[in-house]
Amino acid sequence: MSDPILQLERVTRDFYDGKIQRRVLQATDLALYPGELTILAGPSGSGKTTLLTIMGLVLKPSEGDIFVAGERVTDFPENKLASVRRARYGFVFQLAELLPALSVVENVIVAAGIQGSMVPASVRARARELLESFGLSDCLGLKPLQLSGGQKQRVAIARALINDPSIILCDEPTSALDAESSAIVLDTLKQISKDPHRALLMVTHDPRVFPYADRLLKIENGRIIFDSRHSVSQEVA
């Protein structure tokens, strides 16, 4: 078995409702491995988005440690975490979340140049290649408002890939799409996940997506209750 790209050790997260402490994520151990498409499923309020944001380094855990490619990043300052996100992560959000002011191709390269460095021609070329490979060659100069939901999500996937990340986190990427667009997006993500240097985790509550998974995680009440990597007997009732 290869080394995990992302690892959580005894990670918890508490929120405060006034003075009342509420633990939304119980002590969680989790590792993501390259070449796998992992699906994290659970009902609303189960803690899957909290877990996703902690894995994405946009939310600090209350306790526990996070390792990215073997490096402990738990106590990294905010700016350093941002740099880790830019270098190693790709995100696909529920509603694509493209910047309406930017063109399609600019939306893709923004993920590469947002820290101020010049965007080299090679990155622009890669952005075009990615968009063309996703069937968006006619949309490069369009604004997001001119695209369909499925097209927007494919642009978001191209954006997630522009920095060649080792971790891709997807937050219910098909929930706002029709069946046909969902299938295209899921096929694309499945294809991407086959890269032996990349792990892909998708949060969903849609069981129709499960067949795409190499690994299935189920979460309830802030606790992972099922991990298909382990035997079925380990499922927590």
Would you say 59 or 73 has its CB closer to another protein?
Answer: 59
The answer to whether 24 touches 223, Cβ cutoff 8 Å, is: no
Nearer to another protein, 82 or 184 (CB): 82
Which residue lies nearer to another protein by CB, 37 or 111? 111
Least Cβ distance, residue 65 to another protein (angstroms): 19
Residue 166: name the closest of 9, 55, 39 by CA: 55
User: Distance between CA atoms of 13 and 221, rounded to whole angstroms?
Assistant: 12
Nearer to another protein, 2 or 171 (CB): 171
d(CA 234, CA 98): 40
CB of 51 to another protein, least distance (A): 11
Q: Minimal distance in Å, beta carbon 152 to another protein? A: 13
Closer residue to another protein (CB): 3 or 164: 164
Question: Which is nearer to another protein, 107 or 193 (by Cβ)?
Answer: 107
Tell which residue, 52, 68, 79, has the closest CA to residue 166: 68
Q: Min. distance of Cβ 43 from another protein in angstroms? A: 14
Cβ 18 to another protein shortest distance, Å: 20
With DSSP H G I counted as helix, E B as strand and the rest as coil, what are the percentages for the chain, rounded to 5? 35, 25, 40
Paired tokens of 103: 């063109």
Map tokens 């939310």 to a residue: 59
Minimum CB separation of residue 205 from another protein in Å reads 11
Query: Is 60:51 a contact under the CB 8 Å cutoff?
Result: no
Buried b (16+ CB within 10 A) or exposed e, 139-155: bbeebbeebebbbbbbb
Please report where in the chains the tokens 């899957």 appear, as a residue.
48
In angstroms, the Cα distances linking 230 to 70, 93, 208, 235, 236 are 22, 28, 22, 9, 12
Q: Which residues bind another protein (CB under 8 A)?
A: 49, 52-53, 56, 58-59, 78-79, 82-83, 85-87, 89, 91, 93-94, 97, 99-102, 106, 109-119, 159, 171-172
Residue at 116: amino acid letter: G
